[in-house]
């Protein structure tokens, strides 16, 4: 399997980044829901958010790398069997997925830094708090973060359902291509 995309196939880097981001998003969503239900005396009350924030900031960097890679190596062309409206819907969906990822990350940053504290990332480095004094910053950013994360998961379910429809009903190679085949 080649590293870069070709006109007909996704390369190893694009495939690895796609599945790394997908698995991380599902894990962060599950961790986020679970940790917000913990009570103060639970041993994970502080550890959960520490992992959620460290992984979230790392995901932000990975998504930047993914976007740079996408600009460097264009995506394979849509399959000839895809109708033009399907290709357009897929394109808009992919843009929305990226947009949601970024807005979720920014809102997460605003929740954490509302009290003027930097975000520690795995103890490797800190991301400083910059915007801290917006009215009700923590509550509003928290609400936006939850709504957008739920919207992202809903859109991903539709995106995955479309891929499965192509695989099992249309029997084309849409799904196989995102596994590099
Ligand atoms: C959080 C989870 C996911 C995100 C954020 C995501 C995002 C994306 C994006 C942005 C693309 C466009 C290609 C690119 O920019 O690299 C893409 C392509 C694709 N994804 Fe996902 N994806 C996720 C999960 C899934 C799942 C679970 C499946 C299948 C079960 C799937 C199947 C596909 C397929 C088949 C393509 C290629 C579409 C085409 O050729 O037009 N994705 N995905």
Is the beta carbon of 160 within 6 A of some atom in ligand 1?
yes
What pLDDT shows up at residue 133? 86
Ligand 1, atom 25, lies closest to the CA of 160
CA–centroid distance, 172 to ligand 1, in Å, is 16
Which residue from 14, 17, 18 has its CB within 8 A of the most atoms of ligand 1, so it is best to mutate? 18
Secondary structure (DSSP) of 16-64: HHHHHHHHHHHHHHHHHHHHTT--TTSTHHHHHHHHHHHHHHHHHHHHH
Is the beta carbon of 38 within 6 A of some atom in ligand 1?
no
Q: Give phi and psi for 126, each to the nearest 5.
A: -115, 145
* Residue 175 alpha carbon, nearest atom of ligand 1: 35
Is the beta carbon of 177 within 6 A of some atom in ligand 1?
yes
What pLDDT shows up at residue 173? 95
Whole-number Å distance between alpha carbons of 93 and 22: 15
CA–centroid distance, 141 to ligand 1, in Å, is 27
Average pLDDT for runs of 10 along the chain of length 181: 93 98 98 97 96 98 97 92 94 98 98 94 97 93 98 98 97 95 87
Is the beta carbon of 55 within 6 A of some atom in ligand 1?
no
CA–centroid distance, 73 to ligand 1, in Å, is 16
Rounded alpha-carbon distances, angstroms, from residue 64 to 8, 21, 30, 118: 24, 11, 23, 21
Beta-strand runs (E) in the chain: 119-121, 125-127
Length of the chain: 181
CA–centroid distance, 160 to ligand 1, in Å, is 7
Helix (H), strand (E) at residue 97: helix 84-113
What angle do the packed helices 44-72 and 84-113 form, to 10 degrees? 140
Ligand 1, atom 26, lies closest to the CA of 160
């Amino acid at each position: 399997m080649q590293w870069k995309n070709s006109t007909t196939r996704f390369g190893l880097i694009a495939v690895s980044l796609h599945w790394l981001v997908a698995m991380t998003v599902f894990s962060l969503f599950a961790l986020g829901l679970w940790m917000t239900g913990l009570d103060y005396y639970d041993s994970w009350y502080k550890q959960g958010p520490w992992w959620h924030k460290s992984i979230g900031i790392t995901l932000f960097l990975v998504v930047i790398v993914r976007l740079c890679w996408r600009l460097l190596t264009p995506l394979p062309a849509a399959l000839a069997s895809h109708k033009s409206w399907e290709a357009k819907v897929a394109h808009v969906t992919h843009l929305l997925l990226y947009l949601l990822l970024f807005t979720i990350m920014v809102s997460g940053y605003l929740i954490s830094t509302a009290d003027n504290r930097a975000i520690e990332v795995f103890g490797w480095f800190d991301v400083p708090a910059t915007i801290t004094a917006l009215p009700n910053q923590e509550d509003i950013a928290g609400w936006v973060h939850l709504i957008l994360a739920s919207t992202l998961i809903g859109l991903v379910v539709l995106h995955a359902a479309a891929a499965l429809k192509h695989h099992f009903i249309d029997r084309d190679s849409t799904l196989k291509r995102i596994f590099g085949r």
